[in-house]
Amino acid sequence: MKEIKLKNGQTLTIAPPSIDDAKELACYVNSIRFESKFITYSEEDKPYTLAKEEEWIKSTLNSDRSFIFIAKLDGKIVGSANFGPVSNKVRLTHRCEMGLSVSKQFWGLGIASEIMKVLIEKAKEARFEQIELQVVEENSAARHLYKKFGFYETGFINHSMKYSDGSYAKSMLMQKDLI
């Protein structure tokens, strides 16, 4: 577990979740889908169940290549991230993909930056050679964050997301080389 003093003086912890965190993690994931149009999971999707969350946590606890991290402030989950192989095919096992979110109320405190440091270290330890992600073009905070940590843009996907009003988002493909 990593402990960090934030810009506002509060102590942030970052660690993989235990099974006991499943209920709160499901609530966290179910709540952030209302907070941003830049994540794929939306209010139109079914909420995650406790069983699904427990299954996901267990699968990462039994793996040396897939990880979840949760960031807690005063014991409450305020952010999470995960990474894992893009595929289990042998020729693709050097590549991982990641996802990241912080609860809106806590944006701008440096929480995502602290999570990124932990995630990158762990991805190196897990012997991945590159981290890949997709980020919506308009998501300037996330694009800034990823560039700050050495990610660069490799392409884009047009119409990567379709919103309920019929409009689309374009996503940038980014990667960070670890070797």
Q: By the criterion CB under 6 A, which residues form the site for ligand COA? A: 36, 38-39, 100-102, 107-113, 133, 135, 139-142, 144-145, 148
- Residue whose entry in the numeric block shows the structure tokens 């440096």: 110
Nearer to ligand COA, 47 or 108 (CB): 108
**Residue 37 Cβ vs ligand COA, minimum distance, rounded to whole Å:** 9
Task: Give, for 92, the enclosing helix (H) or strand (E).
Answer: none
Smallest distance, ligand COA to C-beta of residue 59, A: 22
Closer to ligand COA by Cβ: residue 22 or 71: 71
Q: How far apart are CA 43 and CA 64, in angstroms?
A: 32
Taking the complex as a whole, the smallest distance from the CB of residue 68 to ligand COA amounts, in Å, to 15
Question: If 0-12 CB within 10 Å is exposed, 13-18 middle and 19+ buried, where does residue 160 land?
Answer: middle
For the chain, the distance separating the N- and C-terminal CA atoms, rounded to the nearest angstrom, is: 25
Rounded least distance, CB 62 to ligand COA, Å = 26
Cβ-based nearer residue to ligand COA, 54 or 172: 172
Q: Name the residue whose CB lies closest to ligand COA.
A: 112
Q: What is the residue whose two structure tokens read 């179910």? A: 30
Identify which of residues 39 and 126 has a Cβ nearer to ligand COA in the complex. 39
Tokens describing residue 138:
């308009």
Supply 59's token pair: 């699968």
